[in-house]
Amino acid sequence: MSATEQPAQVPAAKPSTVLARPIASRRNLIVRGIVALALVLLLVFPFLDFVSGALIRTVTVVVMAAALAQAWNLIGGYTGYPAFGNVAFFGAGGYATAILMAKMKVDFLPAVLAGGIVAALYATLLGFPVLRLKGHYFSIATLGIAEATREVVANWDTLTGGGSGITLPISPLRPQQFNQFMYFAMLAVFVGSVVLTYFITRSKLGYGMVAIREDEDAAKSLGINTTQFKVAAFALSALITGLVGGVYAYWNSSLIPEDAFNLDYTLRAILITIIGGPGSLFGPALGAIAFEFLRNFLWDRFPGLQFTFLGVMMVLTIIFMPKGVMEFLTGRRRFTPRDLLQYVRDHRVS
Amino acid sequence: MTLDQFLSIVPQSIVNGLMLGGTLSLVALGFSIVWGILNIINLAHGAFVMLSAYFAYFMFTGFGIDPFLSIAPAMLIFFVFGYVIQRYIINNVIRAPLLVTFLLTFGLEIIFVNVALNRFGGDYRSITTAYSGIGFFIGDVRVPYIKLAALLISLLIAGALHLFLSRTRTGNAIRAVGMDIDAAKLCGVKIGQTYAITYGIGAALAAAAGVLIGMSFTITPDMGGAFNLRSFVIVVLGGLGSVPGAVLGGLIFGMVDVFAGVLVPGLKDAIAFAMLVLVLIVRPQGILGKAFYK
């Protein structure tokens, strides 16, 4: 981002509550401890004897949800652009990987990387016109992109296999090894996304993104090239989403347009980010754990009604804690009825 | 398709486009008024269309009531339904950032669609009256009675809405809130209530459209979602906050949709999206400009 000639002291005018928060060193230590412990647990658990393939797959689903949410967090949480079409990049990455592996016999790793790059390029291309739009227009335009991409993929029979989908080569690994392999592939993308987000939040790009979220005109007047910053955020978000899509394609061993471009993926990423805390580093991971746990719980108890609960959860989260659980964990909000109603009091009309 | 073949279907496609466009503009009208006045993208709008189609279906199969007679009761019921939703749910967060209301209505849509799926099942249903499928001919062009009636009723309701907004006290209050909320408040308009009435009207318009759509299309729990994106495109086409704009946008959209279906089948949404981006870039204020319910 050689956007400006000025030194990198961008939005000192409006310090973000998220980025410039002074963290007590003791709390900092605890957070590091928890993260380290979680990482060790995530690394060793698939090799334990009593862990079944089903459990590994379940955890892979959670990690995948967290990675998708982390990706959305970059554009939706940090930059404040409510993108509703991220599944387009999931599908683009997935299909690019699938086509490379199935038709050109490329190996898994280069194919997935290419999938991520294809998604990022697609986002860059779309970003320049679409990111000029704001608010509702941006949301619906991105929603439209996802639908339009699905239709094009479903009709491009010669390349994508059309509506009947595309089948990827079967892995030579034994089932349990394959489970572990896919788990680590997904985990790598997720950890990569967290590391990427960490470095972004401490870079000029990250400060610029938050400045755009808080006040785009002010950011512009401070010399931030808002278009470049927004497109960069959009493309990085698409890069992660595309990588997840690529890994998912191989994991699933086939792709159909209805699944690869299912709006559900976007929606889940958004909801998870909101539950966790948009614009925070570990919010998406926490949100993914909470959300997937609840979803599995509801799935078992109320088969057929789980999507209704998804909707109810969405409505309740939005009304009572639109900044997510992160606020409660960091102690900025207390979990009392009074605090829960604060947001409603601030935004209602009567 | 050769040019001759194409030319031979042009008159019929124009008529089909007009009749489809009439109903779509009725859907978009409700979407437009909620967006224009409340600044909410109401993603539950399509779900109202769907629920109302089911209402007409069950009235017809259960009690033998002609669907055209279901329009008025459906509008009344959905007005109350919409009023309650706005008053007791959406009003709570209406001043929050856009994403919040956007996601809230999305959540409501998910609830409605899945409750419908749970109650009614995913079966394809259709309302078959004695006069379904009958029509008359103008030359080679076939005009089905139901679709013609749907077009006329849509235009009638649009006209009534226009009169309501410009001639009645409540209508004026709604427009005032849309123009300047603080000034309206100073004049004694009850904001929360006006919002609820506006949302109720939006739901009632969706309900009227839902009955008409239920008579000529298949009814399924997930039929509504497609109408949200379409409504959005229509409102952008015609210009936000204008009744004639929504009608014109609907008719244009219907026309493009029918011709796209003939020329490039399977790419309808892509065409709609391309149209949206084109309008936003070339003429962001819409074809009729920003009249804002004046």
Q: What are the chain A neighbours of B41 within 8 Å (beta carbons)?
A: 136, 139-140
A 278-307 residues inside an 8 A Cβ radius of B: 304-305, 307
* A73 DSSP assignment: I
Q: Which of A320, A274, A337 has its CA nearest to residue B92?
A: A320
Bridge partners (DSSP) listed for residue A315? none
Relative to beta strand B141-144, strand B135-138 is: antiparallel
Q: What is the pLDDT of residues B245-270, one digit of tens each?
A: 899 999 999 998 888 888 887 787 78
Count how many residues are written for chain A: 350
- Most confident segment among A3-17, B61-75, B215-229: B61-75
**B95 to chain A, closest Cα gap in Å:** 5
Give Cα separations from A207 to A6, A16, A56, A189, A233 (angstroms): 14, 8, 37, 24, 12
Choose the closest CB to B192 out of A150, A155, A349: A349
Give Cα separations from B90 to B45, B84, B192 (angstroms): 14, 9, 10
Cβ-defined contact of A144 to B280 (cutoff 8 Å): no
**A348 to chain B, closest Cα gap in Å:** 4
pTM: 0.83
Q: What is the pLDDT of residue B279?
A: 80
Rounded Cα distance, B80 and B204, in Å: 9
Q: What number is the ipTM of this complex?
A: 0.76
Choose the closest CB to B191 out of A137, A318, A349: A349
**B107 to chain A, closest Cα gap in Å:** 4
Q: What are the chain B neighbours of A349 within 8 Å (beta carbons)?
A: 91, 94-95, 191-192, 195
Rounded Cα distance, A90 and A96, in Å: 10
**Which chain A residue's Cα is nearest to B225?**
A263
Which band of pLDDT confidence, cut at 50, 70 and 90, is reported for residue B5? confident
pLDDT tens for chain A, residues 1 to 350: 444 444 444 444 444 455 545 555 677 788 788 888 888 888 888 888 787 888 888 899 999 999 999 999 999 989 989 898 899 999 999 999 999 998 888 889 999 999 999 999 999 999 988 888 887 788 888 888 888 898 889 888 888 888 788 888 888 888 888 989 999 999 999 999 999 999 999 999 999 999 999 888 999 998 889 999 999 999 999 999 999 999 999 999 889 998 889 888 888 899 899 888 888 888 899 889 988 888 888 777 877 777 787 788 888 888 888 777 777 777 777 777 777 787 777 778 77
Choose the closest CB to B229 out of A130, A144, A313: A144
Residues with Cβ within 8 Å of A237's Cβ and at least 6 positions away in sequence, in order, are A71, A72, A74, A75, A83, A86, A89, A123
Choose the closest CB to A143 out of B118, B229, B267: B229
Q: What are the chain B neighbours of A129 within 8 Å (beta carbons)?
A: 277, 281
Q: What are the chain B neighbours of A270 within 8 Å (beta carbons)?
A: 103
Tokens standing for B96?
A: 């929050």
